[in-house]
């Protein structure tokens, strides 16, 4: 027992981000899993690694920067706010913003390559430095690039040199500032940069770097730190893409790049050469099996043991949660990315450790589920704060209701908030339409769409919802935080609950108070038979109603409760118990009306089952209001 308690306290699934996980987490150990995206980047087949926040982009990047990853030299560039501002402000007369930004990025790459070559030549090639390498060393000295400096300082020197055409190019035989009378700033900067890049390419060729060892790998990560929703940020990232493609071709394979870009940033880019990058793209996707592999490897690393999958999911964790295998329960309620899984698993461990139990129980997992859901709802709004600042306001459309919503119902909910949203976010009125809201919520994986028998969420090759697709589901990750745990949030049937039904009950009581007891009993049995018959007819109608399966099951269960309650009351009445049957029938009638109203609010107002619920409710009201021997007794509602 004590040993098991110790295991739970030792269990740890790592830090939330790759940077901290490398410092004091688990990523510095043996837990990195070589995904398909990593292998493609390592082999140089793909250079644009695109993924959601928390999908593992930085983990791939950091692994490629280690000797255990890419076998050659690597350079990691992570721009901060100051560097981003410097690039955003950089412009050149005579060229577009995209081209200007690509030139400053090319300068950064060229200087990094030159510095690498001057250090690498003597160590790796073991002979007297060729003239091309010595020229690069002179260039670095003359332009203040020989010492250690950060990206911001390097950018400032490049900006001054390219904008004023005063890079010192004497090392390459160019004695004066490189310029042509009447040439634009952009043309002069391009000429200067061409001289530098040709010199770098010559040095790579003289050393035969491309043929003798793996290429220099330039890694660029954390662009989200410098991204804002403005044209300058768009040009910053577009210029980086153009520069990376240029570098790969200009240095004849001696230099490769790998750019790690968040999907929400990449998907906003729109530029003329965008179609030239499709072969470079790879999107990070995760399956449940891949996430289970991550969970097991991290559990093993933290415990220092040969823990098996069966031991993790049948001993440290409960075998099932709410009747579902635990791993499937967890991963279905998290977005498919490592960060979410790590946070969810750590939350389960934390709840169990605080309780002091020997293992993680089902109650621990359920408690962590609510906490995790609140985290993720907040995190989703923060993740899209730059591109969709209104996202948090849209969550109100789904609070305290069912997790499934039909398009007409969503349109009705949105319409009640539309004016307020347009006032609060005037710059986004074009996006704040019913279809625009659906597109944004689907793209953020908040909503999924029904296609055939599946609910499809954003990611992979799935297309966004089309106008004819009408059934949407809130992702299971966010349902507890929104209190949206049932498909349509149906009210529970409570037969003894007082209902505000507009029926003259006092008159009815007076009318039958003096009736023969036998007549009253017979009338009560007939009324209960009416409820049983109505319930049976509704259940038969429900089977061909066309409602989505989760909703159909919920409606079936609630009507089944009405049927069971009426059957039980009939049995008790036949045994001689005294019951208020009139109240029971009115409760059933009111409940059928409530069910119809709830279905209508979710977009099912035109379904036969909704109309049949209303018809049966009215028929029950009439049966209560009829004479002792009367009543419709009909097998179908009029």
The C-alpha angle with vertex 260 and arms to 71 and 162, in degrees rounded to 5, equals 95
Q: Which residues on adjacent β-strands are paired with residue 256?
A: 217
In 252-345, at which residue ranges do the beta strands (DSSP E only) sit?
Answer: 255-262, 281-283, 320-321, 324-325
Q: What is the pLDDT of residues 178-188, one digit of tens each?
A: 555 667 889 99
Higher-pLDDT residue of 601, 313? 313
Q: Which residue has the tokens 């990025």?
A: 105
Tell me the CATH number for domain 505-625: 1.20.1270
Whether residue 520 has pLDDT greater than 70 = no
CA-wise closest residue to 627 among 555, 501, 523, 495: 523
CA-wise closest residue to 285 among 436, 158, 461: 461
Whether residue 504 has pLDDT greater than 60 = no
**Domain range list for the chain:** 2-18+287-381, 36-283, 391-482, 505-625
Q: Which residue has the tokens 């933290």?
A: 302
Length of the chain: 638
**Alpha helix positions (H), 544-607:** 549-574, 581-599
pLDDT exceeding 70 applies to what percent of the chain?
88
Q: How far is CA 15 from the centre of its chain?
A: 19
Q: How far is CA 38 from the centre of its chain?
A: 20
- Mean pLDDT (whole number) for 187-203: 93
Sign of CA dihedral 103, 108, 112, 114: positive
C-alpha to C-alpha distance for 235 and 449, rounded to whole angstroms: 33
pLDDT value at position 501?
37
CA-wise closest residue to 589 among 519, 510, 463, 497: 497
Q: What is the pLDDT of residues 591-614, one digit of tens each?
A: 998 898 888 888 888 788 899 999
C-alpha to C-alpha distance for 97 and 232, rounded to whole angstroms: 7
Higher-pLDDT residue of 5, 533? 533
Query: Between the ranges 296-310, 331-345, 525-539, 588-602, where is the mean pLDDT highest?
Result: 331-345
Whether residue 635 has pLDDT greater than 90 = no
Whether residue 2 has pLDDT greater than 80 = no
How many beta carbons lie within 10 A of that of residue 137, not counting itself? 19
pLDDT value at position 437?
95
- Read off φ and ψ for residue 307, nearest 5 degrees: -55, 135
| Residue 147 DSSP symbol | S
Residue 325's SS3 state is strand
**String of b and e for 419-454 (b: at least 16 CB within 10 Å)?**
eebeeeeeebeebbebeebbbbbbbbbbbbbbeeee
In a 13 Å sphere around the CA of 178, the CA atoms on its Cβ side amount to 23
- Mean pLDDT (whole number) for 127-148: 88
CA-wise closest residue to 470 among 395, 391, 409, 544: 409
Which of 2-11, 56-65, 104-113, 275-284 has the least mean pLDDT? 2-11
pLDDT band at residue 126 using 50, 70 and 90 as cut-offs? low
In the 3-class helix/strand/coil scheme, how is 48-74 assigned residue by residue?
Answer: EEEECCCCCHHHHHHHHCCCCCCCCCE
pLDDT value at position 209?
81
What mean pLDDT, rounded, does the chain reach?
A: 86
- pTM, rounded to two decimals: 0.80
| Residue 174 DSSP symbol | -
C-alpha to C-alpha distance for 477 and 36, rounded to whole angstroms: 25
**How would you class 554 by CB atoms within 10 Å of its CB: exposed for 0-12, middle for 13-18, buried for 19 or more?**
buried
Q: Contact, 197 vs 110, CB < 8 A? A: yes
Architecture of domain 2-18+287-381: Orthogonal Bundle (1.10)
Q: Contact, 316 vs 11, CB < 8 A? A: yes
**How would you class 168 by CB atoms within 10 Å of its CB: exposed for 0-12, middle for 13-18, buried for 19 or more?**
middle
C-alpha to C-alpha distance for 343 and 334, rounded to whole angstroms: 9
Q: What is the pLDDT of residues 91-122, one digit of tens each?
A: 999 999 999 999 999 999 999 999 999 988 87
CA-wise closest residue to 54 among 389, 271, 294: 294
CA-wise closest residue to 635 among 529, 525, 510: 529
Whether residue 628 has pLDDT greater than 90 = no
**String of b and e for 579-603 (b: at least 16 CB within 10 Å)?**
eebbbbbbbbbbbbbbbbebbbbbb
3-state helix vs strand vs coil in the chain, percent to 5 = 60, 5, 35
Helix axes 81-89, 151-164, angle to 10 degrees: 10
């Amino acid at each position: 027992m004590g040993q098991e308690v110790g295991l739970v306290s030792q269990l740890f699934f790592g830090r939330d981000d790759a940077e901290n996980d490398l410092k004091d987490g688990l990523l510095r150990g043996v837990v990195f899993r070589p995904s398909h995206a990593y292998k493609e980047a390592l082999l140089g087949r793909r250079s644009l690694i695109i993924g959601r926040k928390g999908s593992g982009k930085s983990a791939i990047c950091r692994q490629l920067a280690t000797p255990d990853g890419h076998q050659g030299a690597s350079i990691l560039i992570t721009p901060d706010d100051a560097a981003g501002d410097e690039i955003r402000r950089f412009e050149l007369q005579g060229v577009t913003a995209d081209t200007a930004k690509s030139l400053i990025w090319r300068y950064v790459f060229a200087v990094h390559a030159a510095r690498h070559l001057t250090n690498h030549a003597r160590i790796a090639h073991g002979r007297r430095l060729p003239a091309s390498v010595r020229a690069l060393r002179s260039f670095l000295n003359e332009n203040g690039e020989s010492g250690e400096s950060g990206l911001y300082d390097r950018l400032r020197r490049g900006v001054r040199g390219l904008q004023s055409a005063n890079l010192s190019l004497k090392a390459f035989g160019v004695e004066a500032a490189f310029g042509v009378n009447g040439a634009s700033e952009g043309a002069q900067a391009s000429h200067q940069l061409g001289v530098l890049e040709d010199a770098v390419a010559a040095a790579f060729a003289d050393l035969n770097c491309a043929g003798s060892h793996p290429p220099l790998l330039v890694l660029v990560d954390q662009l989200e730190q410098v991204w804002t929703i403005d044209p300058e940020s768009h040009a910053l990232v577009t210029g980086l893409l153009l520069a990376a493609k240029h570098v790969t071709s200009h240095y004849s394979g001696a230099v490769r790049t790998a750019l790690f870009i968040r999907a929400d940033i990449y998907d906003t880019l729109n530029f003329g050469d965008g179609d030239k990058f499709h072969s470079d793209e790879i999107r990070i996707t995760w399956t449940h099996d891949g996430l289970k592999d991550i969970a097991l490897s991290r559990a093993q690393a933290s415990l220092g043991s040969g823990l098996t999958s069966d031991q993790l999911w049948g001993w440290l964790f409960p075998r099932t949660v709410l009747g579902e295998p635990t791993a499937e329960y967890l991963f279905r309620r998290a977005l498919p990315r490592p960060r979410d899984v790590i946070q969810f698993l750590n939350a389960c461990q934390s709840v169990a450790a605080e309780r002091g139990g020997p293992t993680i129980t089902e109650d621990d997992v359920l408690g962590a589920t609510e906490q995790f859901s609140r985290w993720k709802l907040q995190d989703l709004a923060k993740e899209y704060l730059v591109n969709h600042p209104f996202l948090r306001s849209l969550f109100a459309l789904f609070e305290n209701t069912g997790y499934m919503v039909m398009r007409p119902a969503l349109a009705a909910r949105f319409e009640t908030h539309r004016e307020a949203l347009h006032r609060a976010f005037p710059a986004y009125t074009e996006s704040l339409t019913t279809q625009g809201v659906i597109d944004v919520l689907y793209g953020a994986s908040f909503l999924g769409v029904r296609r055939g028998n599946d609910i499809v969420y954003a990611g992979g090759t799935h297309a966004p919802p089309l106008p004819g697709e009408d059934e949407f589901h809130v992702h299971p990750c966010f349902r507890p935080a929104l209190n949206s745990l049932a498909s349509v949030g149906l009210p529970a049937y409570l037969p003894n609950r007082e209902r505000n039904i507009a029926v003259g009950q006092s008159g009815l009581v007076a009318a039958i108070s003096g009736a023969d007891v036998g007549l009253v009993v017979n009338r009560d049995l007939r009324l209960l038979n009416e409820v049983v018959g109505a319930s049976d007819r509704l259940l038969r109608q429900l089977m061909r109603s066309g409602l989505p399966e989760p909703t159909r099951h919920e409606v079936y269960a609630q009507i089944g409760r009405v049927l069971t309650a009426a059957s039980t009351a009939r049995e008790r009445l036949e045994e001689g118990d005294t019951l208020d049957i009139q109240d029971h029938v009115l409760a059933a009638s009111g409940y059928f009306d409530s069910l119809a109203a709830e279905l209508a609010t979710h977009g099912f107002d035109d379904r036969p089952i909704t109309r049949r619920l209303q018809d049966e409710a009215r028929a029950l009201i009439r049966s209560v209001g009829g004479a002792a021997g009367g009543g419709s007794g009909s097998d179908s509602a009029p």
